[in-house]
């Protein structure tokens, strides 16, 4: 075939042995998707991907890292994990939250690392891209819930009222962040569960070792603690190592109630 013939073939997009688009329209796109999927699986490596809601709940205690400094946030979270904390949520109030999540996934691959204060799809995509294994939102956003479902990642949307719990369940998500739980207290959580027994509530906003047991006794499936585990001022003045004793105390309180 001469140069003119080759050019004509190239423009037409057909060469001897090629499948024509009219003959097998789906073959090539499927092959491309499969290759991309294999590459994505290899990229995950031993770190794994998103975790199930059941595995997250099994941790019983989620630590919320809300620090403005990237290195300090990673260091404090690492100290907390080394002290026994199994699940850490890095909030997107930290501008470099995605970087923190990526670094923690690499440094502590056995821990559950998630993203918190996720408020829009752009942040959701950034969190998933960084390797977040679960997501937490401050409120109930149907678009976010559906985006998380499409991405195949566990999300805890924030709820407070009976109407919000009802809507969340109708959207197909039952693991919910009850926020802010204080000053309403454990009795409020128990009251919400009466008409919505299928809801699995994780209270946060005022939870500490002194009241965690009461919330678990009232029906919470897990609790989430922020400043009780990661007090920003103390961490900045004394160093990230201060979180170790706080984590141990919180774990003792949670374990004591769970084993009763």
- Tell me the catalytic residues: 89, 177
Closest CA to 212 of 158, 156, 260, 155: 260
Burial of 155 (0-12, 13-18, 19+ CB in 10 A): buried
In residues, how long is the chain?
260
Q: CB within 8 A of 169, min separation 6: which ones?
A: 196, 198, 199
User: Which residues does 236 contact at the CB level (< 8 Å), separation at least 6?
Assistant: 69, 72
Distance CA 186, CA 211 (A): 9
* Torsion, CA 144, CA 148, CA 149, CA 150, rounded to 10: 100
């Amino acid at each position: 075939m001469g140069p003119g013939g080759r050019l004509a073939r190239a423009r037409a997009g057909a060469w001897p042995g090629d499948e024509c688009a009219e003959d097998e329209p789906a073959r090539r796109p499927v092959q491309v998707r499969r290759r991309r999927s294999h590459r994505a699986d290899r990229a995950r490596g031993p770190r794994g991907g998103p975790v199930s809601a059941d595995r997250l709940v099994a941790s019983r205690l989620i630590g919320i890292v809300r620090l403005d400094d990237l290195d300090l946030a990673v260091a404090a979270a690492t100290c907390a994990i080394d002290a026994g904390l199994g699940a850490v949520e890095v909030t997107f109030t930290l501008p470099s939250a995605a970087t923190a999540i990526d670094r923690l996934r690499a440094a502590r691959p056995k821990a559950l690392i998630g993203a918190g204060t996720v408020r829009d799809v752009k942040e959701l995509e950034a969190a998933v891209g960084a390797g977040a294994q679960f997501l937490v939102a401050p409120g109930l956003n149907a678009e976010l819930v559906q985006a998380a479902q499409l991405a195949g990642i566990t999300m805890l949307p924030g709820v407070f009222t009976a109407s919000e719990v009802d809507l969340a369940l109708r959207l197909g998500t039952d693991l919910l962040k009850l926020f802010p739980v204080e000053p309403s207290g454990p009795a409020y959580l128990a009251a919400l569960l009466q008409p919505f027994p299928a809801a699995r509530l994780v209270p946060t906003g005022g939870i500490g070792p002194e009241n965690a047991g009461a919330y678990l006794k009232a029906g919470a499936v897990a609790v989430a603690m922020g400043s009780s585990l990661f007090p920003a001022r103390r961490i900045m003045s004394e160093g990230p190592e201060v979180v170790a004793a706080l984590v141990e105390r919180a774990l003792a309180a949670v374990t004591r109630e769970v084993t009763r």
